[in-house]
Amino acid sequence: MMKKTKVAVIGSGNIGTDLMIKVIRLSKTLEMGAMVGIDPDSDGLARARRMKVPTTHEGVDGLIAMDGFDEIGIVFDATSAKAHVANAAKLAPYGKKLIDLTPAAIGPYVVPPVNLDRHLQDQADNVNMVTCGGQATIPIVHAVSRVTPVAYAEIVASISSRSAGPGTRANIDEFTETTSQAIERVGGAERGKAVIILNPAEPPMIMRDTVFCLIGDADHDEIRASVEKMVAEVNEYVPGYRLKQEVQFIPVAADEPVHTLLPEGGPATGVTTKVAVFLEVAGAAHYLPAYAGNLDIMTSAALRVAESIATGAAR
C-alpha cells in the first residue's frame, strides 16, 4: 500500500474542522499530522484531540516546534488572508506544500476541474483555493467561455450566516476581490464581478449560487452541454453540487444596451445574450449541517488538490 502523506491544518474554525474530518474519513492518501489553532478551548482543537490528532494552540510557531513537523508534507491554511501572509513567510524555509483556503492569493488560483492538472505540472509551493463562491461558480464561467467568448461574468454566492465563521466575515472585501479576479484569470471572462450574501434566515438556507454571463451569438445547445458536463465533474468530488434548473438564455433587448466596460476601457460589443445558471450546493454534513455547502465545496476542492499532490509525489 502507498504510504499516506501527513498533512497539517492551520485554523480550528469551521473550515479547518470540516477539512480535518474529511481527511480522516475520506482520504486514502492523506493522514492528519497536526491540527493548529490559537484558542485552546476551540471546538476544532477539542475534536482533534478526541480523534487522536496531535494539536497545538500556539499557531504556526507551535506547529514548527512539534515533534512530527518534519514528517508533514502538505499544510492547509484555513485562517484569514492577513494571517496566511504571515504563516506562509514562517513556513517558507521548510519546503512544505501550502494549500491556501483564504483569499490571500499569494500563489496561483486553483479550481480543480479547470486548471488543477496545469498547476500540478508547475509544482507551485503555494496554491490558492480562491473562495467558496469561486469554487462553485468559476467552473461554470469556464464551461461557457470554452464554447464562446464571455464579455462579462457576474456571480452571486448566497450562504447561511450560520456557516460563516469569524474568518469569513473578516475577509468579505478580500472575498469579492479575489473571486472577481479568478473569474477572469481562471474562468476566462473578460471582466468579472462577485457578490456574497450572508443570509440570516431561519431555518438556515442551503448555499445558492447564480452565474450570469454576457455573450454574443453562439450555439446554445453546445453551451448547455458544456455546463452540464462541468456540473457532473464538480459533482464527482462535491456530491451536493447540482443545477437548480436548466441553463437559461435571455436575449439582450435593443432598448436595454450593455454598458459593461472591458479591461482596456472600451464598452463590450456584440453582446446579444445573457446566460443564467442557477446552482445549489448541499454539504456532506461532516461538521456543520447540510446547509453549509460553502464549507463542503471549499474543503472538498482543497482535499482533491492535496490528494493529487500526494499522488504525484508518490510517483
- Which residues share a beta bridge with 77? 10, 100
Helical pair 112-122 and 220-235, crossing angle rounded to 10 deg:
70
Give the torsion through C-alpha atoms of 163, 164, 165, 167, to 10 deg. 150
Chain centroid to Cα 12, Å, comes to 18
Chain centroid to Cα 290, Å, comes to 17
d(Cα 126, Cα 99) in Å, to the nearest integer? 6
Neighbours of 253 (CB within 10 A): 7
d(Cα 30, Cα 34) in Å, to the nearest integer? 12
Record the cell numbers describing residue 25, joined without a space. Answer: 474519513
Active-site residue, from 114, 132, 138, 164: 132
Residues near 269 by Cβ (< 8 Å), separated by ≥ 6? none
Active-site annotation holds for 213: no
- Residue positions annotated with a catalytic role: 132
